[in-house]
Structures are given as C-alpha cells and as structure tokens.
Amino acid sequence: MAGPRVLVIGGGLAGLSATMRLAELGIDVDLLSLVPVKRSHSACAQGGINSVNTQTRQQGDNEWKHFDDTVYGGDFLQHQPPVKEMAEWGPRIVDLMDRLGVPFNRTPEGFRDQRRFGGTLYKRTAFAGATTGQQLLYALDEQVRRWEVAGKVKKWEFWDFLQPVLDESGRCRGAICQDLVTMEFRAFPADAVIVASGGCGLVFGRSTMSMVCTGSAVSRCYAAGAFYGNGEFIQVHPTAIPGADKLRLMSESARGEGGRVWVPKTPQDPRDPRDIPDAERIYFLEERYPKYGNLVPRDIATREIFNICTNEGLSVEKDRLCVYLDLTHIPKETLDRKLGGILEIYEKFQGVDPRFVPMKIFPAVHYSMGGLWIDYERSASGGLVEGSPRNQQTNIPGLYAIGECDYQYHGANRLGANSLLSCIFSGLFVAPGVVASCDEAKKSEPGPQLMNDALKAQEKRHAELLSRPAGGENPYDLHDELGKLMTRTCTVVRRNDQLAEAYEAVCALEQRWQKCSLSDTGSWTNQNVVFTKALGDMFPLAKLILKGALQRDECRGAHYKPEFSMPGIEADDPAERRRLAEEWCDRFEENTKKWLKTTVARHGDDGHPVLTYEDVDTSIISPRPRLYGLVGGEVIEEVWRERQQARAQAAPQPATVGAGG
C-alpha cells in the first residue's frame, strides 16, 4: 500500500507552510494552485507579522497581551483556544522565518527591527521593507521547491479545484480538479485534503485582493456540505488607492511609521495640500482617538474615513471620495528604507511621489474574517492539543481549511499583521493532525468508482456550460453588477432594508447566470469558462454573507448597523453619566448574551443558506466592551470594572487558565 498522500489546494503562506511541514513529516503532497505558487496573493501583504519579542517583553508585553489584543480587536467573536495557541507560537514562527532567510529590517546592532501596528500599544511587528508578505511567501516557496526537488512534493500549477469527493460515510477522499491549460480533468485521490485558497474579495468586484481570490474553492466545499462561519465579517481596509481595475492596498505600516490622515476644513479645498496650513486641517483620527491616534483598529478607521467623506461632506475631491494620508513630514531617507515598496506602488499607479505629496486614499474590501467552519481540540491549559486530527478540520472528516479561508483567529475584525501569522501558524499546526487523519483514512480504501463518478459529473457540467446557446448574459457584466451591489449594501455601513433587497437582487443575478453565454467554447486554455464557473460559485457566498449580515442585528467589529449602534455618553452631570453608563452596560450584556455567537451557514437544498448560531468559547478572557476612543468610555469602563469585581466576589473563581501569562 502506498504511503499517505495529502492534497493541498492553494500555495500561499498557509498552503506552503502546511506542505513544508507535511513533507518534513514524511507525507507525499500534491500542491495544487490556480497560479504558480510564488505568484499567490500572500505576496501582496505589505506591513509585517506580529509576535511578542525580547524587546516588547521588557516593556511589559507577553503572549497573553498579544492574545488579548487579538480577541479584543476581534470583538470577542473568535474561539479563544486557537488564538491563544497562535499568540504563543508567534515568536517561534518569526524566528523560523528569520532562519529561512527572510530579509527582515535590522537594528544597528543586527537584531530584527519592529514597528507598531493598529490595535496594540507595542512595537510587535517584524517587517521586511514594505513587502513582508512577499518575502515570507518566497522563503516558504523556496523550501517547498527544495522538497519538490527531493521528490516529496508535486506541484500542479494552473489547476482549478472543482470539488471535494466524499465517500458514503461522508469522509473526504480526494478531489476533482481541472488543468487550466489543457482543460483536462483529473481525479486526485487523497487521504486528506487541505483547502488553503484565501479570501473571496472578488465577490465585491474590485477589492485589494488578487484576481484568483474568487472564493470558488471554498464555495465548492460549501456546496458539498462544509459549513461556513461568520461570513458577514468582511474587513474593509481603511486605506487603499482607488483604481479602475483594482483597489490597491496602502499598508497600515504607512500609519505605523507616522503617517497622518486628514482632510481640509474647507470642503474640497482647491489648494495644493502642501499649502494648507495645519490649522486648516482636520486630523480626525488623532482628534477622536487620542490614545491610538492614526492606529485605531481597521474597522474604526474605515468608518471614520467613510463617515467624514459621506456624512460630513469633507472628501478631498468632489467626484471621488478620498482623504489625505500624509507622510511628507517624515524624512525621505526613512521612508525609502521602511516603506519603499508601497510608496513605489503609489508612485507607479498614481504618477505622484507620496514622499512629497500627500496620498489620496479611501477604504476598500480587504480580508474575509469569515470562512470555512473548522474544529479544534482544546487542551487543559486553554490552548490546543497538538496533533489532534480535529484541529482545522471542517465538519467533513478529512477536509481541512487553513489560512484566510478558515473562519478562526480574527473574529469580527482582524488586527493588522496578524494575518501572516495566522496563515503560517495554521499551516504548520495543521500538519501533525492531518497525519493522524491519514492514518484514519488508511483503515478503509474507497473503490475507484467513487472518483470516476465525480469526474464524469464534472466533465458533464463543463460540457453543458460550453454548449449553452449564444447571445445570453455576459459573465463579466454580471460580475460587475454583483460587485457594485455587494459593495454598496454590505461593506462599511449596513442597513436591513438594503440587505434584504440585495439578497433578492443576488438571487436574480444568480438566475441570470444560468443564462450566461460563453464567448469561448474551445477546449484549450479557456479562461472564459473558468471565470464563468467561478462567478457562479460567488452567488452562494454572496447570499450567506448578506443573510448573515441581515440577521445579525448588532454592531460588532467590521459589521456595523447604525440602527443598532451604541453611542457613547455625552452628558456632563456625574450622576447622569453614571446612570447612562449603567444602562449602556446593561445593554451590552444583553447584546453579548444574544449575539456573541458564531454564524454557521449550511448550504440548503433549495440553494438558500440555512443559518444557525453557535456559542463562542470565551472562557479564557471574558468579553468586555470595546471602547477604543468612545466618548464617555471612562465611565463605562468604570461601571464595567465594578460589575466584574462584584461578580468575582459573588462566585468563587474557577481556576483561571494561564491568566496573566
């Protein structure tokens, strides 16, 4: 009998880390990707990777605080054991990447330099210029190439994953995939399949994501019965460069290095921004959030920028919404050294040098916090049991999800520089559990019929698409409509009436997709049919995102409904302030009870998502109000603390797990 064989779908940071670790554990890996793995979307990550380090440790930082920042930043929506484990692995992961040759920026003494990122008060982020994702990706790509030469890894680049194949017992036994060049179909029997296919930004049309981030692989797992968690949580990055073909990211590191966000006091002030004196500028993030300043968490920065442009009418331009992101007060030499890569992007695409002229930026869809629902096995210390086959496994045995396409780690909002960490962590951590799962799979082998039937079904579907009559709907136009609809109704500000309408509209678009015609009916490198299939798979995701957003009547992290927002306390009278704070905390507790739950979507037989809600494991750090810069936050915090103390005295504490680190 052949040794265990694992199929990995996607070769970004998560897929490559898993492949490297599996190969090291003696497993043969098929690594399949839409693009050569070195060209994966991870390359676009700019700012850095978070972990506690020797220096921050001496300033009072520790793994516990990184864990706490992550769950607080994510508004407590993530299960805590995996996050705790990830924070504890952080220093080891950055050390490993350092050993792999990642050219991290250095201090004069030769140590890794660190910068500060959003949602924390420590300089916890290691970085390689402003192309950290690219550098981490390359280091892993190089190691996987080494394993490829050694014969442990076989790459299938320019291949599309079409479906997981499940046996009668419901276990995943492999997948059906298609060669994007020859259009040949092929069955990949596997003892386990790991999906590491990234986010689904293309559901929103233009985003900061790469063209392969259609979400199709995830959608195909969902169609096969995999659950999808927290779909409605989509991160809109505060700072992107608007463009006709895509919205290009302007990294948070621009603010981490001192970049300031502002608008002129005079709406659409026609002057050159450099001629507008400080007194006539509004540094609105610094004014409203004195503690974090320009480095408030992303959801807050995004809403403030959106708000100042739309509600306050202070957009820099009239026809195009944007604000200034200003670096011109920082010496050119520092900018070149620390931000060279991203400033070059701005200069190349906008034709203006951001070292001398403030950039014009606006929020853009950036990251999917939600994704395939996955399991984990909690350890006695509150972390994870290493080597458990349950870790990162979807509800389908033998089918795993890692990286951006899983729903863990980031809750309702991801902190900057945590995505690279979660991708590499989940990739490394999943491996021993997958090995255990392979052993389980080996206990019985399905016959060849299973794969053959699935292959035939995919071939048939493909042939049907190609033979659709001409003159029908144009898939590119439909995608454009879908993107505009989703961006308008389901990003920064969400309203129930709009969400309900959008849901109906997406269903109508899906119907029209059934009548799509292909402009290419050939059987060689047919990009048209591949795109049309991926588009078809966007609708189920769009529907679960919209329905999740519609049903979730609260504000949490990136999900913001003004109707349910909990404004701060403006009153001056101390007694009144106190009373309002009590009320605020009552409401907060009520809301936590009702909504601190994972949205779990299942693909219904009628094509509509069926949503259920699952409790979140918040047993390690109990949820508290997220008060970044909220007016009256001090008095709310005071009342909250008193309640916590009262509760602690009333009930004798169970042994807290690792509290205080």
Partner 1 sequence: MIRVADGQGDKNGVASAAEASASKSPASLRVRVLRQDAPGRESYWECHVIPYEANMNVISILQRIAARTTTEDGRKVAPVAWDCNCLEEVCGSCTMLVNGRTRMACTALVDRLLEEQPEEIVLEPMSKFPVVRDLMVDRRRVFRSLERVKAWVPIDGSYDQGPGPRISPEDQEDAYPLATCISCGCCMEACPQFTKVEVSRLAGESQEAFEARRKEAFDKNFLGAHAISQAMLFNSHPTGKMIADERMEALTDRGGIQMCGNAQNCVAVCPKSIPLTRSIARAGRAATLWAIRRFFDR
Catalytic residues: 298
Q: How far is the CB of 658 from partner 1 (least distance, A)?
A: 20
470 vs 575, which CB is nearer to partner 1?
470
Token couple for 476 = 């590119």
Question: Could you tell me the smallest distance in angstroms from the CB atom of residue 110 to partner 1?
Answer: 4
Nearer to partner 1, 492 or 530 (CB): 530
Cα(640)–Cα(586) distance, integer angstroms:
10
Phi, psi (deg, nearest 5) at residue 628: -40, 105
* 496: Cβ contacts below 8 Å, ≥ 6 apart: 550, 553, 561, 563
CB-neighbour burial class of residue 128 (10 A; exposed 0-12, middle 13-18, buried 19+): buried
Instruction: Report the nearest approach of partner 1 to the CB of residue 246 (Å).
Output: 5
Q: Choose between 126 and 454: whose C-beta lies nearer to partner 1.
A: 126
Q: Do residues 476 and 517 make contact, with C-beta atoms less than 8 angstroms apart?
A: no
Dihedral (CA of 427, 428, 433, 438) sign: positive
Instruction: Determine contact, residues 297/118, Cβ cutoff 8 Å.
Output: yes
CA–CA distance, 63 with 57 (Å, rounded to integer): 9
Token reading at 170: 């419901």
Phi/psi for 373 (5° steps) reads: -65, 135
Which CB sits closer to partner 1, 1 or 244? Answer: 244
Task: 318-322: list long-range contacts, CB under 8 Å, 24+ apart.
Answer: 318/268, 320/242, 320/362, 321/362, 322/242, 322/360, 322/361, 322/362
- C-alpha 353/C-alpha 215 separation (Å) is 35
- Enter the tokens of residue 1: 């009998």
Sign, Cα dihedral of 544, 545, 550, 552: positive
In terms of CB distance, is 136 or 601 closer to partner 1? 136
Give the nearest distance from C-beta 424 to partner 1 in angstroms. 10
CB of 446 to partner 1, least distance (A): 25
CB 139 to partner 1: min, Å: 8
The CB-of-98 to partner 1 minimum distance in angstroms stands at 4
Nearer to partner 1, 246 or 366 (CB): 246
**Shortest distance in whole angstroms from residue 505 CB to partner 1:** 20
Cβ atoms < 10 Å from Cβ of 224: 18
Instruction: Return the structure tokens found at 314.
Output: 């202070």
- Shorter beta-carbon distance to partner 1: residue 480 or 583: 480
Q: Which is nearer to partner 1, 179 or 589 (CB)?
A: 179
Q: Which is nearer to partner 1, 148 or 617 (CB)?
A: 148
Q: Which of 210, 598, 549, 170 is nearest to 393 (CA)?
A: 170
Q: Nearest 5°: phi and psi at 473? A: -65, 150
Nearest of 384, 484, 458 to residue 426 by alpha carbon: 384
Residue 660, class by beta-carbon neighbours within 10 Å (0-12 exposed, 13-18 middle, 19+ buried)? exposed
Query: Residue 635 carries which DSSP code?
Result: H
Q: How far is the CB of 95 from partner 1 (least distance, A)?
A: 5
Q: Whole-angstrom Cα distance, residue 297 to residue 366?
A: 14
Torsion angle in degrees (nearest 10) through CA of 247, 253, 258, 262: 20
Q: Residue 406 Cβ, how far from partner 1 at the closest point, in Å?
A: 21
Closest approach of partner 1 to the CB of residue 629, in Å = 32
Nearer to partner 1, 522 or 604 (CB): 522
Tell me whether residue 13 or residue 345 sits nearer to partner 1 (CB atom).
345
Q: CA-CA distance, 201 to 214, in Å (whole number)?
A: 6
Q: Kindly state the smallest distance separating residue 479's Cβ from partner 1, in Å.
A: 9
Phi, psi of 154 (to 5 degrees): -120, 125
Nearest to 367 by CA among 18, 53, 46, 649: 46
* Closest to partner 1 by CB, 100 or 493: 100
How many angstroms separate the Cα of 347 from the Cα of each of 177, 238, 273, 307?
40, 19, 17, 27
Q: Which residues of 560-570 are buried (b: 16+ CB within 10 A; e: fewer)?
A: bbeebeeebbe
Dist. CA 80–CA 618, nearest whole Å: 6
